């Protein structure tokens, strides 16, 4: 039988095989290193450091939007807003009368004496028909007085347009005439001021004595039953004395 030659061939092959494997690896005691990729790095560098794995980039913090400052906040030179002024207090009409020496001194049959009346309106009401009215009580009379005419005093108003003196109403009575019974008058706006000139004289005959001349501001538009303070918003007395020549 030819068995021995085959066994010898197989033994020879097994003996040679370790040597062949050692020659292929180059290091019989070490494992072969894994093959390195030959593809270039993203940065184009072939250095080993460039092949190291890169840590994932941390997203940069997003800055909060800066609020837009208003012009008032950014402008240090802007003037400060002044506080609102409080409303003016309500005022009402006032009436004054001025005579030389503060009083009228008449002589029966003598010259007239002048005086002025000033109406100063307040800020709370406008008048459409405001007039100045005059009233006095009859003087008490003195012994020796001669009876006089029905109108022992003559009142006149100076017309500012022409300078002429024109007759004005003078009521001689002991009662008060209601405002709604008056008629006439002119407009007077809020805060308006009006000054008029008057003169008064005593007739040659009539009673003598003292009796104040009362000046009224009358609202001719006042309805019946209106309170006296509103129908007659102004009142001022002017001292008056009347005497005879002898």
pLDDT digits (tens, 9 = 90+) for 33-42: 444 444 444 4
Is the confidence at residue 240, as pLDDT, over 60? yes
- Euclidean distance between CA atoms 36 and 63, whole angstroms: 43
DSSP 200-233: EEE-SSS--EE-PEEEEEEETTPPTT--HHHHS-
Q: What is the pLDDT of residue 84?
A: 83
Q: What is the pLDDT of residue 69?
A: 52
Q: Which one of 34-38, 44-48, 56-60 scores highest in mean pLDDT? A: 56-60
Identify how many contiguous H helices and E strands the chain contains and give both numbers. Answer: 3, 13
Q: What average pLDDT does range 69-93 have in this prediction?
A: 72
Task: Give the model confidence (pLDDT) of 181-221 as tens digits.
Answer: 999 999 999 999 999 999 999 999 999 999 999 999 999 99
Q: What average pLDDT does range 45-64 have in this prediction?
A: 47
Measured CA distances, 125 to 141, 151, 190, 230, 240 (Å): 42, 36, 6, 10, 32
Find where tokens 């894994």 sit.
34
- Euclidean distance between CA atoms 43 and 107, whole angstroms: 129
Task: Give the model confidence (pLDDT) of 147-182 as tens digits.
Answer: 999 999 999 999 999 999 999 999 999 999 999 999
Q: Which residue has the higher pLDDT, 17 or 242?
A: 242
- The pTM (predicted TM-score) of the whole model is 0.65
């Amino acid at each position: 039988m030819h068995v021995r030659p085959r066994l010898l061939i197989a033994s020879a092959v097994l003996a040679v095989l370790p040597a062949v494997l050692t020659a292929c690896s180059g290091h019989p005691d070490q494992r072969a290193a894994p093959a390195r990729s030959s593809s270039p790095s993203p940065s184009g560098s072939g250095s080993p450091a460039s092949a190291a794995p890169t840590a994932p980039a941390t997203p940069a913090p997003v800055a909060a939007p800066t609020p837009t400052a208003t012009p008032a906040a950014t402008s240090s030179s802007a003037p400060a807003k002044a506080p609102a002024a409080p409303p003016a207090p309500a005022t009402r009409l006032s009436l004054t009368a001025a005579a030389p020496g503060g009083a009228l001194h008449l002589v029966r049959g003598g010259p007239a004496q002048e005086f002025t009346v000033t109406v100063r309106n307040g800020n709370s009401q406008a008048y459409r028909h405001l007039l100045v009215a005059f009233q006095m009580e009859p003087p008490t009379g003195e012994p020796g007085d001669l009876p006089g005419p029905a109108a022992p005093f003559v009142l006149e108003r100076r017309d500012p347009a022409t300078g002429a003196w024109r007759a004005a109403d003078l009521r001689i009575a002991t009662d008060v005439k209601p405002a709604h019974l008056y008629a006439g008058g002119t407009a007077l706006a809020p805060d308006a001021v009006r000054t008029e000139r008057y003169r008064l004289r005593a007739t040659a005959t009539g009673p003598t004595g003292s009796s104040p001349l009362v000046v009224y501001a009358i609202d001719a538009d006042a309805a019946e039953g209106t309170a006296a303070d509103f129908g007659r918003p102004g009142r001022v007395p002017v001292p008056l004395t009347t005497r005879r020549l002898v």
